[in-house]
Amino acid sequence: MEVEVKQSLESFEASSSDWERMPDPTRMHNSFEFAHAWWFHVPMFVLGVSWAIRLRKANFFAAVNPSLGNGGLYNYSKFEAQNHFPKINLPNTCLIHSEENFDVILSKINAENLNYPFIIKPDVGERGKGVKLIQNQGELEIYLTEQPIEACLIQEFIEKAQEYGVFFLKNPMTGKFSIPSLTRKISLQVIGDGISSISELIQNHPRASRYQNLIQAGDSNHIPLHNEVVKLSPMGNHCKGAVFLDYSAYISSEMIASFEQIFEAVEGINYGRLDVKVDELSDLCDPENIIILEVNGANAEPIHMYSPEKNYQDGLKTINSYFQNMGMMAKHNLVGRRRQFRETDTWRSLMQYLKK
């Protein structure tokens, strides 16, 4: 468990316009964040069907990002997706298969100069399922033994302090690049009061208490200092307890230009979200300081809608707006290329995905 001390934490009334001043934004959540996923999945399904009818193409989503399998909606390789981007913006990564000889896996790890701890995750998957921080060789062996036979990514653990979800749109007609949504991800944490143990802080924390079965505490009886921030997870995934904060107000022309430079040589990826790490917010304006952890395609949600100040109606409006963008991109890319995106291939891939 990683522990850091945060100076001069002061209590104050929560403000959705100034997340930086909050002592612990992970204590906050909105009215629907922990509701059943179908609250959004049903509207998404309805919108998807309506666009399929409108475009007369059941797998219209495949045309949104032609360079990603199934447009990046499902059953696509994370490894192949990230390799469309400049190497300078990627962590050292190797692709392994869990059924490979362990010595072969170790040789791949060494070839990429990967050291413990590192991240391992399924090459095909989403929502943080199967993502784990591996501290040593023993943990790696256990992970591979417990995992189904499948391809996995072993990825350098990036120590940068801040993680963001950067939603991007690249107009396939004009080439114009935009960032409509920026979301800060803060991993699960508690803050010491100088009296309570870590275990007690977790139990009394409105978010951490929901994820107790996922928390691997070192000494749960340890009493952190007053205002000491105790990180309970290194992951920025919602399923690992992270909070998503709307930072869209910080989007600037410099930030857009920075990501536009990263996308310069990227073809056929027009819609989605990059999960990135930087040392500080201003680094998003410098492409050399940005590390891409994961590329999400048509399956990407504009995760700023889960920010604590949002409501369900705002979320539905956001989803509808983003589906509009997706549908118009597909409409353009399908012109003269409808046969390229065959429904039979999509359904076959879907069946393979569902079997997993």
pLDDT band at 18 (very low <50, low <70, confident <90, very high): low
**Nearest alpha-carbon partner for 74 in 355, 356, 353:** 353
- Model confidence pLDDT, tens digit, residues 139-195: 999 999 888 778 999 999 999 999 999 999 999 999 999 999 999 999 999 999 999
Residue 250 lies in a domain: yes
In this structure, the answer to whether residues 36 and 103 fall within a common structural domain is no
- Average pLDDT across the chain, whole number: 89
In this structure, the answer to whether residues 74 and 138 fall within a common structural domain is no
In this structure, the answer to whether residues 275 and 323 fall within a common structural domain is yes
In this structure, the answer to whether residues 310 and 163 fall within a common structural domain is yes
In the predicted model, is pLDDT for residue 24 greater than 90? no
In this structure, the answer to whether residues 246 and 279 fall within a common structural domain is yes
pLDDT given for residue 181 in this prediction? 97
pLDDT given for residue 217 in this prediction? 64
Residue 291 lies in a domain: yes
pLDDT band at 88 (very low <50, low <70, confident <90, very high): very high
Q: What is the CATH number of the domain that holds 137?
A: 3.30.1490.20
- Model confidence pLDDT, tens digit, residues 236-258: 888 888 999 999 999 999 999 99
pLDDT given for residue 19 in this prediction? 64
In this structure, the answer to whether residues 145 and 42 fall within a common structural domain is no
In this structure, the answer to whether residues 148 and 176 fall within a common structural domain is no
In this structure, the answer to whether residues 33 and 117 fall within a common structural domain is no
pLDDT band at 1 (very low <50, low <70, confident <90, very high): very low
Are 128 and 113 a contacting pair, CB within 8 Å? Answer: no
pLDDT band at 14 (very low <50, low <70, confident <90, very high): very low
pLDDT band at 335 (very low <50, low <70, confident <90, very high): very high
pLDDT band at 354 (very low <50, low <70, confident <90, very high): low
In this structure, the answer to whether residues 253 and 132 fall within a common structural domain is no
CA dist 83 and 290 (Å) reads 15
pLDDT given for residue 347 in this prediction? 81
Residue 270 lies in a domain: yes
Residue 216 lies in a domain: no
In this structure, the answer to whether residues 77 and 96 fall within a common structural domain is no
CA dist 67 and 105 (Å) reads 28
In the predicted model, is pLDDT for residue 92 greater than 70? yes
Total count of domains within the chain:
2
In this structure, the answer to whether residues 152 and 163 fall within a common structural domain is no
In the predicted model, is pLDDT for residue 38 greater than 90? no
Residues 6 or more apart from 351 whose CB is under 8 A from it?
none
The structure's pTM equals 0.90
pLDDT band at 204 (very low <50, low <70, confident <90, very high): very high
- Strand 118-122 to 132-134 pairing: antiparallel
- Model confidence pLDDT, tens digit, residues 305-314: 999 999 999 9
Q: Could you check whether the bond before residue 308 is cis, i.e. omega within 30 degrees of 0?
A: no
In this structure, the answer to whether residues 169 and 279 fall within a common structural domain is yes
Structural domain including 137 reads 92-157
**Alpha helices, H only, the chain:** 38-55, 78-82, 102-111, 137-146, 198-203, 253-262, 312-334, 343-355
